Amino acid sequence: MAEAGTIETFSANAAAEPAVGTVQTSPAAEVAMRALDLVGALALLIVLSPLLLLVALTVRLDSPGPAIYRQRRVGRNLEPFAVAKFRTMQEGAGAGAHRAHVEKMIAAGERSARPMVKLERDKRVTRVGSLLRRTSLDELPQLWNVLRGEMSLVGPRPPIQYEVDKYPSEAFRRFAVRPGITGLWQVRGRSTLTFQQMIEFDTEYVEQRSLLLNLKILLLTLPTVLHGKGAA
């Protein structure tokens, strides 16, 4: 699958990006939250290993191409990294349609009350990929990104560089922490919310981030995923 955004593009635009700022958490709290990430990600990888293997096999049988693909995303302090996901699209699918879709939503900003729904009738998505997206199973390989320290179990979702290029200045506060597999925005509605609401929830998370808040969000994630809330 074609990767959207490159390190070269990021480097060219880095000087023009607004400041991210810092987070006011103690060293002890940072250690505790990182320990939660390591223990949680490792435990989930072990427990879910049969499911991960089954999903990988199903993806391979459903359409040609690798089971997992990596896409460059923007992480903490605007550093690029390769996020891992189960492939949900046809191999070699371009990003043009998605780019136009998200840029339109971001450009509307706070003027729009339209939820951040995914691109409708996306012919690039495979049959199995559609199911993986509805159940959020396509995100599970990101547990490896958590172990590598590129992501956290909880945090703002990592965007693609062309999305960041269109962000308003107030959106950059979300890059003060590691991106997460789940987060405050996800458990409060995901794609039923507007772009502006997403930024507000991500900013709220950055300002209130703690071990207790992370545990609360993790507990809320399971019913959110099971009910499919905001997954459309």
Span 143-163, pLDDT tens digits: 999 999 999 999 999 999 999
HSE toward the beta carbon, residue 207, CA cutoff 13 A: 8
Q: pLDDT band at residue 204, thresholds of 50, 70 and 90?
A: very high
Q: pLDDT band at residue 41, thresholds of 50, 70 and 90?
A: very high
With the CA atoms of 107, 201, 211 and 44 taken in that order, what torsion angle do they form, in degrees rounded to the nearest 10?
-60
The confidence score (pLDDT) of residue 107 equals 76
Helices (H), 96-194: 96-108, 127-135, 142-147, 161-164, 184-187
Integer-rounded Cα Rg, in Å, for the chain is 17
Q: pLDDT band at residue 231, thresholds of 50, 70 and 90?
A: low
Higher pLDDT among residues 154 and 122, named by residue: 154
Tell me what the mean pLDDT of segment 187-215 comes to: 90
The confidence score (pLDDT) of residue 87 equals 95
Q: pLDDT band at residue 12, thresholds of 50, 70 and 90?
A: very low
CB 154 within 8 A of CB 180: yes
Higher pLDDT among residues 16 and 104, named by residue: 104
The confidence score (pLDDT) of residue 102 equals 79
Identify the sign of the CA torsion 144, 222, 124, 192. negative
Q: Where are the domains of the chain?
A: 7-17+28-227
The confidence score (pLDDT) of residue 111 equals 54
pLDDT digits (tens, 9 = 90+) for 59-115: 999 999 999 999 999 999 999 999 999 999 998 777 777 788 778 878 776 555 566
Higher pLDDT among residues 186 and 81, named by residue: 81
The confidence score (pLDDT) of residue 13 equals 47
The confidence score (pLDDT) of residue 14 equals 44
- Which DSSP category does 170 fall into? G
The confidence score (pLDDT) of residue 16 equals 57
> What's the rounded Cα separation, in Å, for the pair 98 and 88?
14
Q: What is the mean pLDDT of the chain?
A: 86
Q: Quick check: 192 pLDDT over 80?
A: no
- Give the CA distances from residue 20 to residues 75, 112, 117, in Å, rounded to whole numbers and listed in that order: 11, 25, 27
Q: What is the pTM of this model?
A: 0.85
Tell me what the mean pLDDT of segment 42-70 comes to: 96
